[in-house]
Amino acid sequence: MSPRGAACYRRRVPKAPLLAPPGPPTISFYWDGAPVAACPGDTVASALIAAGELATSRSAKYRRLRGPACLHGGCGTCLVRVDGRPNQRACLTPVREDMRVEPQNTYGGLDPTALVDQVFRRGIDHHHLVVYPRIANQMMQGVARELAGFGELPDAPPEDVPGVVDHAPEVLVIGAGRSGRALATSLAAAGHPPLVVERRPAAALAGSDLPARLLAGVGVFACYPQERLWAAASEQPPVLHRLRPRHVVLAVGAHEPTIPLANNDLPGVVSARGLADMLEQTGRKLSARVVVIGEGARAELLASTLAAERVPPARVRKLIGARRVKGVQLEDGKILRCDLVALAPDPAPAFELAAQAGAPIHFTGAGFAPVVDADGRIAAGPAAHPLEAEGAQTAPPPPWTLWAVGELAGATTPAEIRGTVDRCAAALVRALAESPAPKDSHDRA
């Protein structure tokens, strides 16, 4: 069995477009064998959503249809096969003429594994289900093994040998979103242009305020304090970046957590923030009917940006639809018809890199975040080696200072984000003046 798209997808009827293009489409690529029109600036996800193609895979256990959701590189359900390479995030992959994009982990339009969702109506409790009799367990394991996994191996071994680039910047800024860019601008104006690393590709970063020293399409995937190293990589071209900065500012923003609602996994249920950003980046306009689900000022703002009706989660009974979302059923039985549901949860700070760097982490009520002072400075202790007993911390303190700005530092509104950027920039410029770079240190970027 091949867990890839099958021919039955190909005779699909074209769907009603959901996002209007900013101009005539000039690019064409293949989605599961059928041509899709796109515009420069589109990602695979924006082009597919625009074309009404919302499902890109099936889920691991219940085999339900899934598609791009966070639109921000964070959720992992937009994974597709691009030109023979598996597990590419559709929402971070710019469209290219004639690229072949295929669904993953699905067996075509009439996928027989979809029956799992019907058969196990009360859920699969893997602690007890089909553990006995053993023969049934073995049969089930056999089937499950075939189903498991994310995509198939690449068609061919990669042609390029991955390269390595070392960088020793004075200031490293991770993230070129609003706060990262604003901070880079302030530092550059003060004579300390930072190196900015951003996981989104350059094509997805519209705007005139792009930092001068920018590595786009490069994801910082780890901080290894014991190695005194931050590590980042791009897949195409395949390059490993080893970063040894003196100061690190995390401008990594926040994740959009799910809102637990019945059928919150339907294709077409997306992040409101991700959708708003996608429209801004691509210049596309909504032609779809959207309902925003969320509470509070931020959800309100996103609903007005998307010109959509907003309902608080407590009023929602369930989302309806089968192969894609068709509407929101409210507790009073009323149904709001729509083509997309945009979730506007309280954002959860992207604390992961800060935690790896040794930052103390606390629960904010919305999610986890590093503890920061008024300037955004993080007091990261000496990094204990994971295999060392606690208390036997022999590692020296990290060779960098660590800071957070924007949503990671607890800001939610544009004004608060600006405030964290200004305070951090001022404090960082003072720190740079107090300890100028040693003579032998220079950027090798």
Does position 49 interact with ligand FES (CB under 6 A)? The reply is no
Q: Helices 296-305 and 272-282 sit at what angle, rounded to 10 degrees? A: 40
Rounded to a whole number of angstroms, the minimum distance from the CB of residue 23 to another protein is 32
Kindly list the distances between the CA atom of residue 122 and the CA atoms of 112, 117, 119, 234, in Å, as whole numbers in the listed order: 19, 9, 9, 42
Does position 81 interact with another protein (CB under 8 A)? The reply is no
Does position 195 interact with ligand FES (CB under 6 A)? The reply is no
Rounded to a whole number of angstroms, the minimum distance from the CB of residue 159 to another protein is 11
Rounded to a whole number of angstroms, the minimum distance from the CB of residue 263 to ligand FES is 18
Q: Work out what residue 163 binds among another protein, ligand FES, none; the CB cut-off runs from 5 to 8 Å by kind.
A: another protein
Nearer Cβ to ligand FES, position 36 or 71?
A: 71
Contacts 24+ apart (CB under 8 A), 63-68: 63/111, 63/113, 63/114, 63/115, 63/116, 63/117, 63/147, 64/114, 64/117, 64/265, 65/106, 65/114, 65/266, 65/267, 65/323, 65/324, 66/265, 66/267, 67/267, 67/268, 67/324, 68/270
Instruction: Pick from 14, 35, 76, 296 the residue near ligand FES by CB under 6 A.
Output: 76
Query: 237: cis peptide before it, omega within 30°?
Result: yes
Letters for 262-301 (x = contact with another protein by CB under 8 A, - = none) are xxxx------------------------------------
Rounded to a whole number of angstroms, the minimum distance from the CB of residue 359 to ligand FES is 24
Q: Work out what residue 66 binds among another protein, ligand FES, none; the CB cut-off runs from 5 to 8 Å by kind.
A: another protein
CA dist., res. 269 & res. 266, Å (int)? 6
Does position 66 interact with ligand FES (CB under 6 A)? The reply is no
Nearer Cβ to another protein, position 186 or 264?
A: 264
Q: Work out what residue 123 binds among ligand FES, another protein, none; the CB cut-off runs from 5 to 8 Å by kind.
A: another protein
Q: Which of 363, 345, 414, 297 has its CA nearest to residue 69?
A: 345
Does position 224 interact with another protein (CB under 8 A)? The reply is yes
Q: Which of 432, 190, 12 has its CA nearest to residue 441?
A: 432
Within 316-335, the residues that bind another protein by CB under 8 A are: 318, 322
Nearer Cβ to ligand FES, position 179 or 271?
A: 271
Within 101-130, the residues that bind another protein by CB under 8 A are: 117-118, 120-123, 125-127
Q: Which range of residues in 140-148, 217-225, 299-307, 405-413 is near another protein by CB under 8 A? A: 217-225
Does position 91 interact with another protein (CB under 8 A)? The reply is no
Does position 75 interact with ligand FES (CB under 6 A)? The reply is yes
Number of helices and strands in the chain (H, E): 8, 30
Rounded to a whole number of angstroms, the minimum distance from the CB of residue 45 to ligand FES is 6
Q: How would you class 222 by CB atoms within 10 Å of its CB: exposed for 0-12, middle for 13-18, buried for 19 or more?
A: middle
CB count within 10 Å of CB 210 equals 16
Does position 240 interact with another protein (CB under 8 A)? The reply is yes
User: What are 54's two structure tokens?
Assistant: 């919302």
Does position 175 interact with ligand FES (CB under 6 A)? The reply is no
CA dist., res. 379 & res. 359, Å (int)? 6
Q: How would you class 344 by CB atoms within 10 Å of its CB: exposed for 0-12, middle for 13-18, buried for 19 or more?
A: buried
Number of residues that bind ligand FES (CB under 6 A): 14
Instruction: Pick from 3, 5, 68, 406 the residue near ligand FES by CB under 6 A.
Output: 68
Does position 255 interact with ligand FES (CB under 6 A)? The reply is no
CA dist., res. 327 & res. 67, Å (int)? 17
Does position 70 interact with another protein (CB under 8 A)? The reply is yes
Longest dimension (CA), the chain: 71
User: CB within 8 A of 115, min separation 6: which ones?
Assistant: 63
Instruction: Pick from 144, 190, 210, 222 the residue near another protein by CB under 8 A.
Output: 222
Rounded to a whole number of angstroms, the minimum distance from the CB of residue 82 to ligand FES is 13
Instruction: Pick from 268, 345, 376, 398 the residue near another protein by CB under 8 A.
Output: 345
Interacting residues toward ligand FES by CB under 6 A = 45, 68-71, 73-78, 89-91
